[in-house]
Copies of this chain bind each other. A is one copy, B any other.
Amino acid sequence: MSSTSFSDWLQARVEQTETVLDQSLPPVSQEPARLHEAMRYSVLGGGKRVRAALVYAAGEAALQGKPMAAAQLKALELAAAAVELIHAYSLVHDDLPCMDDDKLRRGRPTTHVQFDEACAMLAGDALQPLAFELLAQMPIAPALIVQAITQLAQAAGSAGMAGGQAIDCESVGIALDRDQLQEMHSMKTGAMLQASVLLGGIVAGASSTVRNGLEEYAQAVGLAFQVVDDILDVTADTATLGKTAGKDAADNKPTYVSILGMDGSRELLGALNEQAQLALRPLGPAAARLMQLADYIVGRNH
């Protein structure tokens, strides 16, 4: 690992991701202009880029100290952009009136408020295949590309993100127990966080030991991410969050805080972070950025 501080490293990854996304999204000068504008509005200029950072950090971990080839770097950039495209599309659809009906996202009007519902839906619909197109462009062995695409497709589909979303929709006002809540979140949020980590590993040619470590790490971090989200929904204000605070409680949605209480949630968080750090032990110093990312995810305030 280089001596760059974590916050400088993260900032550099955020900017790198923004640049690649900007170059990968179709320009507004090209028809259909309004759709392209909505796609760019939904993706660019915001977001913590945690998923992209996980791709880069996992790639670094998988290399185990070997220098990164230019083609591997390019592939990591495309994979990082791909997971952010899927994440962005899911937010656009999730904010629609027929879903969460949210007006505010990243401190700005949501896509359907800024444009219109049809345009927002189509923007999301078009972002999804773009993610697969970017993976198909990675300058690495085609067999690895196919592995990466399978990973992303499964994480985005009915056994992953879209499936978790569906359970979430159906569970409004229903008392889920802790296992059901965990299952829902591991699909809705965890699957894509896990895919981000595994994509980084696939691109960098991770050994099976490294892959196992990455998988275990990703599971713990994915869950931790959601526990933090639930805590912040209660403790943070709308301005800090950039989205409507207190919304889960108002919607009568089950959360970790509603099931475990605030203290219980914070305890779980500590345990999950420890689990994530432990999983990385076999990977040695190359996993330092992943360790810092787990601390960052657990400690974030928005």
Contact = CB atoms under 8 A, between A and B. Distances in A.
Interface string A112-151: 0000111101101110111011011100011101100110
B126 A98 contact: no
Nearest to A154: B133
Given A136-B150, A142-B146, 14 more contacts: A26-B158, A32-B167, A32-B170, A35-B166, A93-B122, A96-B98, A126-B163, A132-B152, A133-B149, A135-B149, A136-B146, A136-B149, A142-B142, A146-B146
Nearest to A120: B98
Contacts of A152: 129, 132
A169 interface: yes
Interface of A: 26, 31-32, 34-36, 39, 90, 93, 96, 98-99, 116-119, 121-122, 124-126, 128-130, 132-133, 135-137, 141-143, 145-146, 149-150, 152-154, 156-159, 162-163, 165-167, 169-170, 183
Nearest to A180: B31
23 contacts: A31-B163, A32-B163, A32-B167, A34-B170, A35-B158, A93-B125, A96-B121, A98-B116, A98-B118, A118-B169, A119-B166, A119-B169, A124-B125, A126-B163, A128-B128, A128-B156, A129-B153, A129-B154, A132-B132, A133-B149, A133-B150, A142-B146, A146-B146
A87 B133 CA distance: 18
A34 B166 contact: yes
Given A122-B162, A125-B162, A130 B117 contact: no
Contacts of A125: 90, 93, 124, 128, 162, 165
A159 B35 CA distance: 10
Number of copies: 2
A96 to B, nearest CB: 7
A183 B32 CA distance: 11
Contacts of A36: 158
Contact of A156 (B31, B116, B129, B162): B129
Contacts of A129: 128, 132, 152-154, 156-157, 162
Contact of A122 (B26, B132, B141, B165): B165
Contact of A149 (B31, B132, B141): B132
Contacts of A34: 166, 170
A173 to B, nearest CB: 14
Interface centre among A32, A129, A143 (most CB of B within 10 A): A129
A233 to B, nearest CB: 20
Contact of A158 (B32, B165, B183): B32
Contact of A162 (B35, B142, B157): B35
